[in-house]
Chain A
Amino acid sequence: MFQRKSKHVLPGFRITMGFTLVYLFLIVIFPLLGLGIKASAIGWARFYEIATSQRVIASLRLSFGASLIAATINVFFGLVVAWVLVRYRFSGKRIIDALVDIPFALPTAVAGIALTTLYSSKGWIGVWLSPLGIKVAYTPLGIIVALSFVSLPLVVRSIQPVLEEFDPEVEEAAALLGAHRGQRFMQVLLPELAPAILTGFALSMARAVGEYGSVVFISGNLPMHTEIAPLLIVTKLEQYDYVGATAIAAIMLLFSFSILLGINLSQHWRRRRLAPALP
């Protein structure tokens, strides 16, 4: 007697999977495909022309450069913050923990106008800096500040779990072998933390390059000087230059996809490499 083997024990696979795929396609895949198709319809020559035009290059350089600096700043300070949160006990720790989450929870437009006002020449901080000749608002420096604000939690929350899970016996072993605090940090802790730090860095980059709301107020938006790539896309849209906007969008998409692919791949490799091969 032929018995049909039921593939799934629980019911509802077809309906949930079907709905998932349809919804995914309609909301995400289809629109992104649309962008991809329109971008490829531009043709290589025209695409190259747009991509290498001065204004576009300036905006990409600004977005990438500022993101790089902000991500690097946050690697240092993010490490300190994560360290303090994991290793120390002190009153007010909860406040620091909550502050780290603020850039996640606060809408970007609010952050944008607040940072701009803060660092403008009459703002609470700007007023101290302008006699020193340092201008933050409406300069690339302001962009870096805004991007640091936005990407801080990404770095801290990437490092924190790894630091928490770190086996204290490994540190003890290192100490007993003669390593003092600095040596323990540099030779034992930091190498363990390195992947998490890199992940935090990469996530920051991916986020910061595409950031709009927090940056567009403080950046001044002068073409060739303080115009970030996302803003350039918006400007081109307003001028009905759909081709230009699409081209830049395609470049940015490629960048963030490859970063996330890189992160996923490296985590996959690391899991395979560090997974015990023998019982």
Chain B
Amino acid sequence: MRTPTSIHLRNIHKQFGSFIALNDVSLNIPSGQLAAILGPSGSGKTTLLRIIAGLETQNTGSLCFDTEDLTNTSPCDRHVGFVFQHYALFRHMTVLENIGFGLKVRRRKLGLSKKDIRDRALRLLTTVYLEGLENRLPQELSGGQRQRVALARALAIEPKVLLLDEPFGALDAKVRKELRRWLRIFHEQMGITTVFVTHDQDEALEIADQIVVMNHGRIEQAGAPAEVFERPASIFVEEFLGISDISQPIDRLTGPVAVPDQMEFPGALEVRA
């Protein structure tokens, strides 16, 4: 596997009319890291993610993947995997067609046959524990299943970078906990540089390598969870992470994790005919 991409943001400034969404933001996400952008609504975290993806263009500042400047690259060419909070699956396509879409639109460039695409998509389906559901429509799946289809779809194009926008925001608490651990395990396996946006501090503290705390378009603090937790840079960080309220330390999921042979998923086996 090739070396994962690193992300470099320098002095990013983004304004909507007179509203400043991102104010001189600089950030480095090293190769292969799982980074969490944490903050309340309106902090600019989603805007930052969208700028990395190319869905928004910054007013000033530069964005690089490794050493390649992306300022003039359209989102279609950035090779970014993006998972939306509400999945954004293609309603009229089956699960398999959804997953294979990125390969299908680049078919000629990649020199893939229809069979190749189908095989790859099926393989990805298995990776996210959704075998047997390839001919379902998104409407026939549960929230957790749809999220995994969205993930498989993003991964199908072998992206340089994986971006997730509040990936578990629309799911209930139990499913959230399971899926976030699974994301960490997945990240260990895949090794792709991953950035996810969340407003849930437990999520960030539990699985991220780097936490970026944002507020009002600025980065309040960026660092490893232990550092942010033990040495909060400002009162905002302290309050947002609920540090003073914590009576016992958060359970950290760190280091390489052994993947069990079979993982039980809520809903994974539900829809078997």
Contacts and interface: CB of A to CB of B under 8 A. Distances in A.
B157 A177 contact: yes
A175 B91 CA distance: 16
A173 B105 contact: no
Interface string B130-141: 000000010111
Interface string B66-99: 0000000011111111101010111110000000
A276 B92 CA distance: 13
Nearest to B105: A179
**B86, B102, B156, B271 pick with most chain A CB within 10 angstroms:** B102
Interface range, B side = 35 or more
Contacts, number: 81
Contacts of B54: 176
A15 interface: no
Interface in A251-279: 273-279
A245 B170 CA distance: 61
Nearest to B106: A178
B105 A278 contact: no
Contacts of B142: 278-279
A87 B181 CA distance: 41
B86 A169 contact: yes
Nearest to A188: B90
A176 B80 contact: yes
A40 interface: no
Nearest to A170: B88
Interface in B184-242: none
Given A178-B105, A178-B106, A187-B105, A172 B139 contact: no
A176 B83 CA distance: 10
A180 B153 CA distance: 17
A238 interface: no
Given A179-B76, A179-B101, A173 B139 contact: no
Interface range, A side = 20 to 34
A167 B90 CA distance: 10
**A172, A176, A187 pick with most chain B CB within 10 angstroms:** A176
A277 B177 CA distance: 24
Contacts of B137: 273-274
A174 interface: yes
A192 interface: yes
A169 B49 CA distance: 14
Interface of B: 53-55, 74-82, 84, 86, 88-92, 101-102, 104-106, 137, 139-143, 153-154, 156-157, 270-271
24 contacts: A169-B84, A170-B90, A170-B91, A173-B89, A173-B153, A175-B75, A175-B76, A176-B54, A176-B80, A176-B81, A177-B101, A177-B153, A178-B76, A178-B106, A178-B157, A179-B101, A183-B105, A187-B104, A188-B90, A191-B92, A273-B137, A274-B91, A276-B140, A279-B143
Given A169-B86, A170-B89, A178-B105, 5 more contacts: A177-B154, A191-B92, A273-B139, A276-B140, A278-B141
